[in-house]
Amino acid sequence: MIQDTAREQPVPVGGGTELFHVIDPRVFERRLLDELCDLTTRVRTIAKSNAGARFLQDLLPNCRAMFFFTQPSTRTFLSFNNACHVLGIRTNEIRDPSTSSEVKGESFEDSIRTFSSYVDVIIMRTREPGRAAQAARLMDTIARPVPVINAGSGSDQHPTQALLDIYTLDRSFSERGGIDGKVIGMMGDLKRGRTVRSLCYLMKNYPDVRLVFIAPEQFAMQNDVKGHLKEYGIPFTETEQLGKVLPELDALYVTRMQSEWDNAGESRAVDFKRFSVGTKELGLLKPDGIIMHPLPRGPELDPAVDTDPRAMYWRQERNGMWMRAAVLLKIFRLESRIRYLDLEAFAAQDGDNPLVS
């Protein structure tokens, strides 16, 4: 059982739309989200030409990032790593704690402080909740603080995933009035899935959104998130029957069973088929509805869905790299270098970058 006391407390992002630490999605306001989405599209567009790619590479050539990932990761690690490389940031990593001085008994605080001696940003993922917030608080007490980015804190939060999810929703609904007023379903292990927990915290920024939670009772969305939704007047309903609610959804965000958190194989007791999407379910989805998934997938998402134009998860995955580049640009206050650029000018200079689409 996850204790609410172990959940992270908000760490302020600073005044206005500035960004320093990225720890808790609750601190993100609409202005900043819109700015990040716009910046993401700009970076993605600029990178499409060779001249644009070179311009991006020159933005942060003297910047170094530390990846402290002691919990498994494929997408978040690779997308952040490549976002850094897109911007010219050099990267260091510790992914196996047995190779760090932790084995000599060095404290967590001393390890973080040591990383900060060599790099300009710390990007971290841990099995325990609250560690990134702890690192950020430590940074705020030292003379040379560096920003800390939470790339996944236990089963609690995953703020940059929520940002890329917002970007994916915003992009998908760009011709239908954006995210405002949409009906968004979240399905699967909502109790222990940090991506949906973080995404819920961003919903207060989008008027008239309605949420539909589709989960087995024992893995229902937790009270801390539901309390937050009630506080901000965001309507939500809960059901175990996907078929009944699917036709009304604009987006269905599918998640896997987070069985790595099982104490006694409790996720094995769940009938997955009731919380999965295949071609049969696609028949019930609106023609312009979308399917999202943070990946990796399990049996809850049939690969046969991949070829349907409403399957948005591969694009969602790729959006992650661009959104994370935008987050880094915002942290290092380079957004104005991008905001006023003539995006067409790069493409005109020397053609497309064949590596980017």
Q: Which residues are catalytic?
A: 75-76, 104, 125, 158
Q: Please say which residue, 270 or 338, places its beta carbon nearer to ligand NCD.
A: 270
Q: What is the full DSSP assignment across 70-125?
A: -S--SHHHHHHHHHHHHTT-EEEEE--GGGSGGGGT--HHHHHHHHHHH-SEEEEE
- What does the DSSP 8-state code read for residue 53? H
Is 158 among the residues that bind ligand NCD (CB under 6 A)? yes
Burial class (CB in 10 A: 0-12, 13-18, 19+), 298: middle
The residue sitting closest to ligand NCD, measured at its beta carbon, is 294
Taking the complex as a whole, the smallest distance from the CB of residue 95 to ligand NCD amounts, in Å, to 14
What's the closest the beta carbon of residue 144 comes to ligand NCD, in angstroms? 30
Phi-psi region of 319 (alpha: psi -120 to 50; beta: other; left: phi over 0): alpha
Among 91, 134, 153, 161, binds ligand NCD (CB under 6 A): 161
Q: Judged by CB under 6 A, does residue 157 bind ligand NCD?
A: no
Q: Is 75 in the site for ligand NCD (CB under 6 A)?
A: yes
What's the min distance (Å) between Cβ of 317 and ligand NCD? 7
Q: Is 277 or 338 the residue whose CB approaches ligand NCD more closely?
A: 277
- The secondary structure element, H or E, covering residue 64 is strand 64-69
Q: What DSSP string runs through 249-270?
A: -SEEEE----GGG-SSSGGGGS
- The residue ranges of DSSP E strands in 164-209, in sequence order, are 183-187
130 makes contact with ligand NCD (CB under 6 A): no
Question: What is the residue whose two structure tokens read 């969602």?
Answer: 316
Closest contact distance (angstroms) between CB of 233 and ligand NCD is: 27
Q: Which of 256, 329, 338, 346 binds ligand NCD (CB under 6 A)?
A: 256
> Should residue 2 be labelled a site residue for ligand NCD when binding is judged by CB under 6 A?
no
194 binds ligand NCD (CB under 6 A): yes
Between 295 and 347, CB nearer to ligand NCD:
295
Is the Cβ–Cβ distance between 87 and 57 less than 8 Å? yes
Q: Rank residues 74 and 92 by Cβ distance to ligand NCD and give the closer one.
A: 74
**Shortest reach from residue 76's CB to ligand NCD, in Å:** 4
Best CA proximity match to 294, nearest among 130, 205, 181, 163: 163
Q: Please report whether residue 198 would count as binding ligand NCD according to CB under 6 A.
A: no
Task: Give the separation between CA 297 and CA 277, rounded to whole angstroms.
Answer: 11
CB 223, min distance to ligand NCD, A: 20
193 or 289, CB closer to ligand NCD? 193
Pick the binder of ligand NCD from 294, 329, 330, 346 (CB under 6 A): 294
Question: What are the C-alpha distances in Å from 221 to residues 29, 52, 200, 296?
Answer: 23, 43, 10, 20
Q: Which residues make beta-bridge pairs with 291?
A: 252, 311
Name which position in 76, 116, 126, 222 contacts ligand NCD (CB under 6 A). 76
| SS3 (DSSP) at 188 | coil
Q: Work out whether 160 is an interface residue with ligand NCD (CB under 6 A).
A: no
Cα 231 → chain centroid = 23
Contact residues toward ligand NCD (CB under 6 A) are 75-76, 152, 158, 161, 194-195, 255-256, 294-295
